[in-house]
Structure 1
Amino acid sequence: MPNPDSAQTQTAKLPHRLIRPIGAYTLSGLAIHQELLLTLDRTRGYLLQVNPKTDGTTLLNTQQAAAFEEATGLALWEGKLYIARHHQVLTATLEDLTPTPLLSLPYLIDSIAVWQQTLYISSQKAGYIFIYDRDSHDLITKLPLPGIGVASIAVWGDYLWAVDQTEQTLFCLDRATGEQIFSVLTPFAGPTGVAVLPETTPDRGTVWVTYADDEAYVRDDPNNPDFPYQLTFRDRTFIHPLHYHYRPDERYAVSNRFRVEMIYAEEIEPLDEVQLGPFEWRIAFPADTLRQRVKSVEPIGHPFTEVEVNGQRVAVFKFDSLSGHDRHLFGWRAVLEVQGIKYQVTPRLVEGGPALPDDLQTRYLVDDDELAMDNPLILAAAETAVGRETNLLRKVLSIRNYVYDRLSYGIRPAIDTPDIVIERGIGSCGEYVGLLLALCRLNGIACRTVGRYKCPPHAEQINQPLVPEFNHVWIEFYVPDVGWLPMESNVDDIQDGGPYPTRFFMGLPWYHMEMAKEVPFERVHFAPADVEKEIKIGNLALNHVRFRILEEMPPV
C-alpha cells in the first residue's frame, strides 16, 4: 500500500487557477507535496516549492542549484525526489537535496514518474516509456510514447498520464499495457510537466500542468531616441489546472471551458460610387456544437431580425438604400462558451462501417467550389495520397499527410484552385482546405469547409480586448455511424517531411470559433437581384472582429 504521507495520497483539494511562480524562467516537471507544488526551473537549476493559494515561491535547493541545472523531470515518492537530468535519473530527499545518481540510459531522459516499486522513464529520442524496478534497477518492459514530442509523465493508480509538448495533449494510458484510454487537448501550448491530483479517474478530473515557451513583446529602449521601442522575446512560464471530462459512450473528451465575447461588425464605406435600392445584409451566428454553445446574441449599431437557414441562426439587417456617401456600422455581439474537444475514434471502430448516405454523397462528394476535381494532376494526387489504404480514418490521415508533404504554409491575396496550389507548393489555410476537400471527395469521403475565426489563444488575458490578425478555415469529414469530425487545415504542418502531430486531427482547441455550418457566413441581397453579381462585399465594407475572454470554467 502507498505510504499515507506520500505525495500521491494527499487528499487536500488544491485551488484551481493559473499560478505564476515568482522568479521562474522555464518550469519543467511537477509533483504534489501535501498542499504544495514542487517544480523545477531548468534554466536556473532551482527546485521550487509553490503555494497555489498565494503564488508564494520558496527556493529549496539553495546550495545545490548547479546540480539541478537542465533537469527536466521530477517525481516524489515517500519523501524521496527522483530527478531526470540528461541521461541520468538522480535521487535526493527533502531533508538532503544533494542529488545522487540512481541509473543511466543511453538515451536522453525527458521525464520520470514513480508508483510503489516501479520507475517510469520517458525518452523522446528512444520513442518509449521505460519501466524499471525501483530497487533492482532491472528493466521490466517498455511502452511506446503516444505522441511525437517530448512527453512529461505522472502515475496515479492504474493509469499513466503523459503530456506531449508538441501534441499539446494529455494522454491517459493503462500503465500496465500502454493502451490509450483517452486524450484531451491542453488549453495552452508548450506543456512541460504534469502532476495528478489524488483519486483522479479517466472519467473526469483535474491535473496540474506546467507550461514554458517564449512570447514576443515590445520593450522601451531609452538609449535610442529615434527608435524608442524594440520587439524582443521573453520567457513565459506558469502552472495551470487542466480540467477534463471523458464521455466514452459518446467517443469524445473535453477540456477547459471559457466564456468568450465575440464581436463581428461591418463598417459600410463603399470604395466606388454606388446608388442602390433596398438591400438585406445577412451575417450568420456562431454555431451550437458539442464544444461550443451560444449563450446570447445582441445587435450592434442596427437592429436585426433572426431567421433559421438549414438549422443555423442568421441575423438579417435591412436597409432602405445605399449610396456612395452612406456610412453604417452594424453587426452582433455574441457570448459563447467554448472548450477543447478531442474525439476518441479509432480505425478499428470504423472498419467495415456502413456506406455514406445518398444525400451526403450528393452534397459532399461533388466539385461545388472550384476544386479542380476533374484535373489530371488532382486525380493522380487523389490516388497517390491513399495508396492501397481502405480504412476511412487512415485514408483521411494519409491524405492530410500527403498534403502536408506537398505544401508549405504562406499567406496569399487570393485563393487559387488545388491544381495551381499543388504545383506551386505553397498555400494559405483556404488553399490547404481546397486541396484536402478535392482529394477526400475523390476518395469517397464526405467533407466540408468549417471555421471563420480563431480567438487569439491567450487564455490568461481575462477581460482584455483580443483582435485576430486573420480569418481561418479548416474542414470536417463525415464518418457513417459517428458523424462529422474536425481536422485542421495547415496548423499541424509543423516540419518538412513529418512526422506530423495529430493534436488537431479529430480535435479542436477552445479558441476555434465554429461559424455558419451549412450556410454562407455572410451574404448581401439587393433589389433587383441581378445587382448582386456586380457588387462584392469587400468593396462595400470593412469588417471588425474582436474577442474578450470573460472567465474560465470547468468543462461541461
Structure 2
Amino acid sequence: MTSEETAHGDLLSKVVSTVDAQWRTVMPLGAYQLYGLAWVDPQALWLRQLPRMPFCQGTVGSSLLALDRVRGYLLLINPENDHSEILNPYHGDEFLDAQGLCLWQDTLWFCQDDWVYYCVLPDLTIHPFERFSYPVQGVAVDEQGVYITCQKSGYIHHLDRQTGKELGKLPAPGIGEENLAIRPDALWVCDRLEQSVYRLDRQTGEILAAALTPFTDPTALSFSDQGLFWVTYAGEEPYLRDNPNNLETPLEIASRDYTSIHPLVFETQEQEHYTLSNGYLVEMSYVEEISPLDSVHLDNLEWRIALPAESLRQKVLRVEPVGTPFRLDTVGDQQVAIFDFPELRPQESRFFGWRAWLELRAIKYHLRPDDIDETLSLPEGFAQLYLIDNDELSMSTAIVQDAAREAVGTETNILRKMLKIRNYVYDRLSYALRPKIETPDLVLERGVGSCGEYVGVLLALARLNGIACRTVGRYKCPPLPDQRGVPLQPTYNHVWLEFYVPGYGWLPMESNPDDVIDRGPYPTRFFMGLPWYHVELSKGMRFETTNYRDRGLRLGDLALNHVRFTIHAEIPPSSENSS
C-alpha cells in the first residue's frame, strides 16, 4: 500500500470514527406515524404515577414522548434501542388524528382538528382549551403563553394561557403544515412541505436561520435537556409486496406507513447568512464503458469529464481514476479529468472514469431582500459570461422577451426578481421527462418541460433581467441516508442553477422539484438551498464532452455510463459552531 493510499484510509477512518453514536435514526417499535414529540425526564414524578405495566429493561432511560396519530398512542421511546411503551392503553381513541404534542411542566398539550386540548398528568382526562376557525397543527407552551400554528390562516397565533385571548400572531415561515418547539431565545418551527426547520424571533416572527432536514416530511420537533435537537418524520411510502395469491404476477406495488426520529445537526454562519445541516460521507463513481453503436475508428480521442467541485456544502476528500489514468485540467476554479485515447479501434472496449469520496451537507441561505445592496454591480467579466445567450437560450425571440418582462414587472430587488421569475416559470410549465432538451421559446409554447428545460427557461428570463446565472449539475445521490454501505444507482441525471448576488456570491436554486402545487403557492425550500444529496460536478460548463463533439459524434453513440453511490456514514458538523 502506498503512503498516499495509507493517508487516504486514515482520513476516511478519522471521518467515520468521529460520528457520534447518539445521532442514530430511531425507528420506534410498533409506531405508525409520529406527529408530535416532546422530551421527558425519565424521573418525572407524573411519569412514575401513571398506571403502567411492570418495567422491562428496554424502557429504562426512555426520554422521548411521541404521539402516533394513526393509533392515538402516547409512546414513551428509548432513543438508544427503539423500545416504545404505550402510556395511554385505555385512551387511544381520544388522541386519534391528533398532532402537535407539547409537554410543559406536568401539562400535556396537543391539537386535534380545529381544537387545542390539554390534560394535567398523570391524569389523562382531556380538557378543551380553544377552538379555531380552521384546523390547527402545532402547539408550544411556556410562561409567555400558548403558540399555535394554522396552515389555513398562514399564521402562528399567540394566546394567553389562562384566558385563551389572542395576544398577537406571527407570519408562518413556510406554506406547509407546521409544528413548534420553544426555547428561551427563539421559536422553532418545522414545516413538512418545506422540508425545513426555522428559528424565528419570538416578537417579530423574523426568520433568524433555516435548515433543511435530511429526510422528507418532518412532522414534529423537540429539544432534549442536553440540547440535542430531535425531529420526527412520517408519511406513506411505496414498496414491492409479494402477494402469494397472485400466481401470475406476485410482485405488486403497495403503500405502508413509515416514521422515524433523527437528530437535526446544524451550524449557522450568521454573518454569511447560511446554515449547513446533517452531512454524509458519500462515495461516488462515474465510469464510461466504450460501447459504440456503430463501428468507428478514432484518432487522438480526448474525453473530458468534470470532477466534483469544492463548495461550502461539498468537500472533496479524494478522487482516483477507474480503468484508465487521467490527466487534470483546470477551468476557472473547477477541475476536469481528461482521458486520452491515441487510437480507438473498431470493436474496442474500455472502462474509464473516476471514483470520489465526498462530504455532502445540506445548505440553506436566509438572505432577506433588505440585506441586498442594490448599488453593487457584477464582477468584471461576469456580463460577458453569464448575461449572454451562449447555450441556445432563444433570448432574442419575442415569446422569451415578453415572458422576461411579464415575470418581474416593476421589481428591482434581485432576490424578489429571481423568486418572481421562478414562480412565473412554475405557473407556465409542468414537469415531464423529455427525449431531448428544446429551446426556451419552444418550451414556453408547449408548457411542459424536463429539469434541463426548466433550467433553460430560468436562465433566459434571469439573464434578460440582468441576473447572472449558470447551470449546475449533474447527479443526485439516492436520498436514502439510512441505507449505509449499500451500492445505490440514481435513476436520472439532474441539473439546477446558481444565480449571482453582488456582495454575497453564487446562490443555489433548484430547477423544478419545488413545482409541486398547481398555480402555487410554491415552497421555497430549494430557493437559495440544496439538500445534502446533490453532487456539484460542473458549474457553467459541460459536464462531459469530447474533441469530436463538433464533428457530430454524440457521447451516447460511443459509450454507456455507470453511476454508483455509496453512503458510508453520517458525519459531524464541519465546525464547533453547531447545535
1:418 aligns with one of 440, 451, 472:
440
Identity %: 51
Q: Partner amino acid for 1:551?
A: A
Q: What does 1:78-89 correspond to in 2, within 5 Å?
A: 78-89=105-116
Shift in Å, 1:48: 0.5
Any idea what SS the aligned residue of 1:495 has? coil
Any idea what SS the aligned residue of 2:283 has? strand
Shift in Å, 1:117: 4.6
Aligned to 2:34: 27
Aligned to 1:350: 372
Aligned to 2:451: 429
Q: What does 1:344-423 correspond to in 2, within 5 Å?
A: 344-423=366-445
Q: Partner amino acid for 2:557?
A: N
Aligned to 2:558: 540
2:164 aligns with one of 134, 137, 143:
137
Shift in Å, 1:355: 1.8
Q: What does 1:152-163 correspond to in 2, within 5 Å?
A: 152-163=179-190
1:114 aligns with one of 132, 138, 141:
141
Shift in Å, 1:382: 0.6
Shift in Å, 1:137: 2.0
Q: What does 1:319-338 correspond to in 2, within 5 Å?
A: 319-338=341-360
Shift in Å, 1:555: 2.5
Q: Which moved more, 1:261-270 or 1:354-363?
A: 354-363
Q: Which moved more, 1:155-164 or 1:88-97?
A: 88-97
Shift in Å, 1:518: 4.2
Shift in Å, 1:320: 2.9
Shift in Å, 1:91: 1.4
1:150 aligns with one of 177, 181, 185:
177
Aligned to 2:89: 62
Q: Partner amino acid for 1:389?
A: E
Shift in Å, 1:148: 0.6
Within 2, Cα distance between the matches of 1:354 and 1:376? 30
Shift in Å, 1:351: 4.2
Any idea what SS the aligned residue of 1:320 has? strand
Alpha carbons 1:160, 1:173 under 8 Å: kept:
yes
Any idea what SS the aligned residue of 2:31 has? coil
Q: What TM-score, normalized by structure 1, do the two folds share?
A: 0.94
Q: Partner amino acid for 2:245?
A: N
Alpha carbons 2:471, 2:540 under 8 Å: kept:
no
Alpha carbons 1:454, 1:472 under 8 Å: kept:
yes
Aligned to 2:531: 509
Matched, 1:276 2:293: no
Deviations along 1:249-307, whole A, 9 cap, x unmatched?
11111100110011100011000111112322221111000000010111111222223
Q: Which moved more, 1:153-162 or 1:134-143?
A: 134-143
Q: Which moved more, 1:128-137 or 1:445-454?
A: 128-137
Within 2, Cα distance between the matches of 1:114 and 1:333? 50
Matched, 1:286 2:304: no
Within 1, Cα distance between the matches of 2:114 and 2:158? 15
Within 2, Cα distance between the matches of 1:48 and 1:357? 56
Unaligned runs of 5+ in 1: 1-12, 201-205
Within 1, Cα distance between the matches of 2:266 and 2:104? 25
Shift in Å, 1:532: 4.9
Unaligned runs of 5+ in 2: 1-19, 43-62, 575-579
Aligned to 1:71: 98
Within 2, Cα distance between the matches of 1:547 and 1:157? 41
1:49 aligns with one of 52, 56, 76:
76
Matched, 1:190 2:217: yes
Within 2, Cα distance between the matches of 1:459 and 1:94? 37
2:248 aligns with one of 226, 247, 251:
226
Q: Partner amino acid for 2:37?
A: L
Aligned to 1:16: 23
Q: Partner amino acid for 1:470?
A: Y
Within 2, Cα distance between the matches of 1:158 and 1:471? 42
2:482 aligns with one of 460, 478, 487:
460
Aligned to 2:51: none
Alpha carbons 1:310, 1:519 under 8 Å: kept:
no
Deviations along 1:456-502, whole A, 9 cap, x unmatched?
11111111111111110011111111101111101111111100111
Shift in Å, 1:352: 2.3
Which 4+ residue blocks in structure 1 deviate beyond 6 angstroms? none
Deviations along 1:415-473, whole A, 9 cap, x unmatched?
00001000100000000000001001111111000011111111111111111111100
Alpha carbons 1:465, 1:548 under 8 Å: kept:
yes
Q: Partner amino acid for 1:109?
A: V
Shift in Å, 1:199: 7.0
Within 2, Cα distance between the matches of 1:311 and 1:171? 33
Shift in Å, 1:171: 0.5
Deviations along 1:374-414, whole A, 9 cap, x unmatched?
00111111110110111111111111111000000000000
Within 2, Cα distance between the matches of 1:133 and 1:53? 37
Q: Partner amino acid for 1:47?
A: L
Within 2, Cα distance between the matches of 1:336 and 1:419? 38
Structure 1 residues 93 and 15: CA distance shift in structure 2, 3 A: farther
Within 2, Cα distance between the matches of 1:518 and 1:502? 23
Aligned to 2:12: none
Within 2, Cα distance between the matches of 1:518 and 1:414? 20
Matched, 1:493 2:533: no
Shift in Å, 1:324: 2.5
Q: Partner amino acid for 2:547?
A: H
Alpha carbons 2:373, 2:503 under 8 Å: kept:
no
Q: Aligned-residue CA RMSD in angstroms?
A: 1.5
Within 2, Cα distance between the matches of 1:302 and 1:357? 39
Q: What TM-score, normalized by structure 2, do the two folds share?
A: 0.90
Alpha carbons 1:263, 1:334 under 8 Å: kept:
yes
Matched, 1:439 2:457: no
